[in-house]
Amino acid sequence: MAEARYSDDQLTAGRRLFSAPASFRLGVAKLEQLPPLKGTEVAFAGRSNVGKSSLINALTGVKGLARASNTPGRTRELNFFDVDGRITLVDMPGYGYAKAPKAEVKQWQDVLKGYLRGRPGLTRVFVLIDARHGVKSEDKEMFDMLDETAVAYQLVLTKTDKIKPKELAEVTAQTQALIKTRAAALPSFFATSSETLGGMDELRAEIAGLIR
Protein backbone atom coordinates (compact mmCIF):
# COMPACT_ATOMS: atom_id res chain seq x y z
CA MET A 1 0.00 0.00 0.00
CA ALA A 2 1.63 3.23 -1.15
CA GLU A 3 -0.35 5.92 0.56
CA ALA A 4 1.53 9.20 0.75
CA ARG A 5 3.37 9.94 4.04
CA TYR A 6 4.17 13.35 5.50
CA SER A 7 6.09 14.92 8.36
CA ASP A 8 4.39 16.87 11.14
CA ASP A 9 5.70 20.11 9.59
CA GLN A 10 4.20 19.23 6.21
CA LEU A 11 0.85 18.33 7.77
CA THR A 12 0.85 21.60 9.71
CA ALA A 13 1.61 23.59 6.54
CA GLY A 14 -1.32 21.90 4.79
CA ARG A 15 -3.73 22.65 7.64
CA ARG A 16 -2.55 26.26 7.79
CA LEU A 17 -3.03 26.76 4.05
CA PHE A 18 -6.56 25.39 4.03
CA SER A 19 -7.59 27.28 7.16
CA ALA A 20 -7.26 30.46 5.06
CA PRO A 21 -10.28 31.92 3.21
CA ALA A 22 -11.52 29.95 0.20
CA SER A 23 -13.98 31.27 -2.37
CA PHE A 24 -15.55 30.51 -5.75
CA ARG A 25 -13.77 32.42 -8.51
CA LEU A 26 -15.65 31.63 -11.75
CA GLY A 27 -17.07 28.92 -13.99
CA VAL A 28 -15.67 28.42 -17.49
CA ALA A 29 -17.59 26.81 -20.35
CA LYS A 30 -15.17 27.65 -23.19
CA LEU A 31 -11.39 27.68 -23.43
CA GLU A 32 -11.30 31.36 -24.34
CA GLN A 33 -12.88 32.10 -20.95
CA LEU A 34 -9.98 30.64 -18.96
CA PRO A 35 -8.78 33.14 -16.35
CA PRO A 36 -5.17 34.21 -15.83
CA LEU A 37 -3.17 31.91 -13.60
CA LYS A 38 -3.36 32.80 -9.92
CA GLY A 39 -1.01 31.00 -7.58
CA THR A 40 -0.42 27.28 -8.03
CA GLU A 41 -3.19 25.56 -10.00
CA VAL A 42 -4.34 22.00 -9.33
CA ALA A 43 -7.38 20.24 -10.83
CA PHE A 44 -9.71 17.48 -9.70
CA ALA A 45 -11.09 14.96 -12.19
CA GLY A 46 -13.33 11.93 -11.76
CA ARG A 47 -16.43 10.07 -12.86
CA SER A 48 -19.81 11.62 -12.19
CA ASN A 49 -20.84 11.10 -8.56
CA VAL A 50 -17.31 10.23 -7.43
CA GLY A 51 -17.44 13.01 -4.83
CA LYS A 52 -15.35 15.86 -6.26
CA SER A 53 -17.52 18.63 -4.82
CA SER A 54 -17.63 16.93 -1.42
CA LEU A 55 -13.86 16.52 -1.44
CA ILE A 56 -13.25 20.20 -2.25
CA ASN A 57 -15.67 21.24 0.50
CA ALA A 58 -13.95 18.91 2.98
CA LEU A 59 -10.47 20.13 1.98
CA THR A 60 -11.35 23.80 2.44
CA GLY A 61 -13.71 23.33 5.37
CA VAL A 62 -16.28 25.50 3.56
CA LYS A 63 -19.61 23.73 3.36
CA GLY A 64 -21.32 24.34 0.02
CA LEU A 65 -18.28 25.98 -1.60
CA ALA A 66 -18.42 23.46 -4.46
CA ARG A 67 -21.96 22.48 -5.33
CA ALA A 68 -22.82 19.04 -6.61
CA SER A 69 -25.58 18.77 -9.20
CA ASN A 70 -28.59 16.65 -8.26
CA THR A 71 -28.38 15.06 -11.70
CA PRO A 72 -25.16 13.14 -12.45
CA GLY A 73 -23.25 14.48 -15.43
CA ARG A 74 -24.93 17.89 -15.38
CA THR A 75 -21.90 19.93 -14.32
CA ARG A 76 -20.61 21.35 -17.58
CA GLU A 77 -18.07 23.94 -16.47
CA LEU A 78 -14.54 24.12 -15.19
CA ASN A 79 -15.14 25.67 -11.77
CA PHE A 80 -12.27 27.70 -10.31
CA PHE A 81 -11.83 28.22 -6.55
CA ASP A 82 -9.30 30.47 -4.84
CA VAL A 83 -7.58 29.56 -1.57
CA ASP A 84 -5.79 32.50 0.03
CA GLY A 85 -4.57 33.76 -3.36
CA ARG A 86 -1.96 30.99 -3.28
CA ILE A 87 -3.76 27.95 -4.64
CA THR A 88 -6.39 27.64 -7.37
CA LEU A 89 -8.52 24.50 -7.22
CA VAL A 90 -10.24 23.52 -10.48
CA ASP A 91 -13.29 21.24 -10.35
CA MET A 92 -13.48 19.51 -13.74
CA PRO A 93 -16.80 18.17 -15.09
CA GLY A 94 -17.56 14.57 -14.17
CA TYR A 95 -17.02 12.07 -16.96
CA GLY A 96 -18.50 8.69 -17.81
CA TYR A 97 -22.20 9.55 -17.56
CA ALA A 98 -23.86 8.12 -20.65
CA LYS A 99 -27.14 10.08 -20.62
CA ALA A 100 -25.56 13.33 -21.81
CA PRO A 101 -26.10 13.99 -25.56
CA LYS A 102 -23.19 12.76 -27.68
CA ALA A 103 -22.55 16.19 -29.19
CA GLU A 104 -22.36 17.68 -25.69
CA VAL A 105 -20.02 14.93 -24.52
CA LYS A 106 -17.68 15.55 -27.46
CA GLN A 107 -17.73 19.31 -26.85
CA TRP A 108 -16.68 18.77 -23.25
CA GLN A 109 -14.03 16.25 -24.17
CA ASP A 110 -12.57 18.89 -26.48
CA VAL A 111 -12.66 21.50 -23.71
CA LEU A 112 -10.98 19.15 -21.22
CA LYS A 113 -8.27 18.15 -23.71
CA GLY A 114 -7.70 21.78 -24.59
CA TYR A 115 -7.43 22.74 -20.93
CA LEU A 116 -5.00 19.92 -20.13
CA ARG A 117 -2.84 20.56 -23.20
CA GLY A 118 -2.88 24.34 -23.10
CA ARG A 119 -2.59 25.20 -19.41
CA PRO A 120 1.17 25.38 -18.77
CA GLY A 121 0.64 26.48 -15.16
CA LEU A 122 -1.39 23.38 -14.27
CA THR A 123 0.79 21.68 -11.66
CA ARG A 124 -1.12 18.50 -10.82
CA VAL A 125 -4.37 16.70 -11.57
CA PHE A 126 -5.91 14.61 -8.80
CA VAL A 127 -8.03 11.84 -10.30
CA LEU A 128 -10.73 10.67 -7.89
CA ILE A 129 -11.68 6.99 -7.82
CA ASP A 130 -14.71 5.68 -5.90
CA ALA A 131 -13.23 3.10 -3.52
CA ARG A 132 -16.42 1.04 -3.75
CA HIS A 133 -15.95 0.46 -7.48
CA GLY A 134 -12.23 0.84 -8.17
CA VAL A 135 -10.78 1.98 -11.50
CA LYS A 136 -13.27 1.79 -14.39
CA SER A 137 -12.78 2.00 -18.15
CA GLU A 138 -13.74 5.70 -18.14
CA ASP A 139 -10.97 6.36 -15.61
CA LYS A 140 -8.46 4.63 -17.86
CA GLU A 141 -9.54 6.92 -20.71
CA MET A 142 -8.76 9.89 -18.45
CA PHE A 143 -5.37 8.33 -17.59
CA ASP A 144 -4.70 7.97 -21.33
CA MET A 145 -5.51 11.66 -21.86
CA LEU A 146 -3.24 12.72 -18.99
CA ASP A 147 -0.41 10.44 -20.13
CA GLU A 148 -0.77 11.85 -23.66
CA THR A 149 -0.69 15.47 -22.47
CA ALA A 150 2.15 14.71 -19.99
CA VAL A 151 0.27 16.22 -17.06
CA ALA A 152 1.37 14.74 -13.74
CA TYR A 153 -1.51 13.15 -11.87
CA GLN A 154 -2.17 11.41 -8.58
CA LEU A 155 -5.05 9.13 -7.63
CA VAL A 156 -7.40 9.82 -4.73
CA LEU A 157 -9.66 7.05 -3.46
CA THR A 158 -12.95 8.52 -2.20
CA LYS A 159 -15.71 7.18 0.06
CA THR A 160 -13.35 4.81 1.86
CA ASP A 161 -15.68 4.89 4.88
CA LYS A 162 -18.29 3.06 2.78
CA ILE A 163 -16.35 -0.21 2.48
CA LYS A 164 -14.81 -2.76 4.85
CA PRO A 165 -11.06 -2.70 5.64
CA LYS A 166 -10.46 -5.92 3.67
CA GLU A 167 -12.17 -4.47 0.60
CA LEU A 168 -10.17 -1.25 0.97
CA ALA A 169 -6.93 -3.24 1.13
CA GLU A 170 -7.89 -5.04 -2.09
CA VAL A 171 -8.76 -1.86 -3.99
CA THR A 172 -5.59 -0.10 -2.82
CA ALA A 173 -3.47 -3.05 -4.01
CA GLN A 174 -5.20 -2.99 -7.39
CA THR A 175 -4.73 0.79 -7.61
CA GLN A 176 -1.03 0.54 -6.77
CA ALA A 177 -0.46 -2.15 -9.41
CA LEU A 178 -2.25 -0.07 -12.05
CA ILE A 179 -0.46 3.23 -11.50
CA LYS A 180 2.92 1.53 -11.89
CA THR A 181 2.02 1.03 -15.55
CA ARG A 182 1.14 4.69 -16.19
CA ALA A 183 3.67 7.17 -17.57
CA ALA A 184 2.46 10.38 -15.91
CA ALA A 185 1.00 8.90 -12.70
CA LEU A 186 2.74 9.53 -9.39
CA PRO A 187 3.45 6.34 -7.40
CA SER A 188 1.70 7.43 -4.19
CA PHE A 189 -2.03 7.95 -3.73
CA PHE A 190 -4.57 9.00 -1.11
CA ALA A 191 -7.37 7.11 0.65
CA THR A 192 -9.97 9.67 1.73
CA SER A 193 -13.43 10.15 3.14
CA SER A 194 -15.27 13.46 2.95
CA GLU A 195 -17.52 12.21 5.77
CA THR A 196 -14.88 11.24 8.35
CA LEU A 197 -12.20 13.58 6.86
CA GLY A 198 -9.82 10.62 6.67
CA GLY A 199 -6.84 11.37 4.43
CA MET A 200 -7.65 15.08 4.18
CA ASP A 201 -4.62 16.26 6.15
CA GLU A 202 -2.32 14.26 3.88
CA LEU A 203 -3.96 15.63 0.73
CA ARG A 204 -3.72 19.17 2.11
CA ALA A 205 -0.02 18.61 2.85
CA GLU A 206 0.59 17.39 -0.71
CA ILE A 207 -1.14 20.42 -2.23
CA ALA A 208 0.66 22.85 0.10
CA GLY A 209 3.96 21.31 -0.98
CA LEU A 210 3.21 22.20 -4.61
CA ILE A 211 3.23 25.95 -3.96
CA ARG A 212 6.09 27.51 -5.85
Terminal Cα distance for the chain, rounded: 29
Tell me phi and psi for residue 172, to 5 degrees: -70, -35
Q: What's the rounded mean pLDDT across residues 158-186?
A: 93
Does pLDDT of 74 surpass 60? no
Rounded Cα–Cα distance for residues 28 and 31 (Å): 7
Q: Could you list the beta-strand ranges (E) of the chain.
A: 22-28, 40-46, 78-83, 87-91, 122-130, 153-158, 190-191
Q: What is the pLDDT of residue 126?
A: 97
pLDDT higher at 79 or 73: 79
Per-residue pLDDT tens over the stretch 87-123: 999 999 888 765 667 777 777 778 888 898 888 889 9
Tens digit of each residue's pLDDT (9 = 90 or more) over 142-151: 999 899 888 9
Tell me the three state secondary structure of residue 171.
Answer: helix
Q: Is residue 96 within 8 Å of 48, Cβ to Cβ? A: yes
In one letter, which amino acid is 164? K
Give how far Cα 2 sits from Cα of 45, 116, 146, 174, 204, Å: 21, 26, 21, 11, 17
Q: Mind listing the domains of the chain with CATH numbers? A: 8-208 (3.40.50.300)
> What pairs with residue 40 in β-bridges?
87
Element (DSSP H or E) covering residue 111? helix 102-118
Distance CA 164, CA 177 (A): 20
pTM (whole model) above 0.85: yes
Q: In the predicted model, is pLDDT for residue 165 greater than 50?
A: yes
Report residue 51 CA to chain centroid gap. 9
Give the β-pairing of 22-28 and 40-46.
unpaired
Mean pLDDT of the 124-131 span: 97
| Res 71: pLDDT | 47
* Amino acid found at 4: A
Q: What type of residue is 141?
A: E
- CA-CA distance, 120 to 141, in Å (whole number)? 21
188-211: per-residue pLDDT in tens? Answer: 999 999 999 999 999 999 999 999
Contact 92, 78 (CB under 8 A): yes
